[in-house]
Amino acid sequence: MTSTLRVLGIDPGLTRCGVGIVDVDRARRATLVHVGVVRTPADADIAERLAAVASGIRAAIAEHRPQAVAVERVFAQHNVQTVMGTAQASGVALLVAAEAGLPAATHTPSEVKAAVTGYGSADKRQVQAMIARILRLDAPPQPADAADALAIALCHAWRRDAASPTASGGMTAAQRAWADAERVARTYVRSGR
C-alpha cells in the first residue's frame, strides 16, 4: 500500500453533485487536490442530467487519477422525488468508479460527520468549518455539497487507515484513544500514584 491515498469523494445529487479529491498520508494529514460541483438544470431530461453527472465524475477521475472512490450512502428522506434523484446520481457515481476499475465504498451521512467533526449529528456549517481547518483552507468550500464531498473522501481515507492492521492494529480512532487511555491508567496504577 502506498504511503498516500488519493480519494475521490462524491456527494450525489442531480442539481448539484459535489466532487472532492484529497490526498491523505499515513499520519492522517490531508491535502486538497480538487473540489467542485457538477451542476445540472432542474428542467432538463433526467437522462441528460445523469449523463452530465457521469461526465463530470469521469473528468475528475481522468484529470486527478484517484485510487479509490467514496460515495455518500443514500438515506430515506421525506421527499421521495429528492431521494430518487440522489439514488440515481449515487448509482451513476458507483458505475463510473467501476468502469474506471476503482474500488468504491459508501458511507452514511452520520459516519462522515462523525469522522470529520467527532459528532454524527453535526450541521452543514460545522462540517464546512472542519473541512477548512483539516485542509488548511482560508475559507470553507462552497456550496455545502463541495465540502460534503471532501468530508466523504476524508472519512473513507481515515476509515481505510483504521481498518489497516499495519496502521492501527485494526482499531478505529475511538478504539485507539480508548486503548491509549487504558494504557495510561494501568501505568498510573502500577506506579502506585
Catalytic residues: 11, 72, 145
Q: Grid coordinates representing 145?
A: 455539497
Q: Is 72 annotated as a binding residue?
A: yes
- Distance between CA 139 and CA 158 in Å, rounded? 23
Q: Is 145 annotated as a binding residue?
A: yes
23: helix, coil or strand? strand
- Counting beta carbons within 10 angstroms of the beta carbon of residue 91, is it exposed (0 to 12), middle (13 to 18) or buried (19 or more)? middle
Report the 10 Å Cβ neighbour count for 135. 20
Q: Grid coordinates representing 125?
A: 456549517
Q: Is 25 annotated as a binding residue?
A: no
Q: What are the binding residues for Mg(2+)?
A: 11, 72, 145
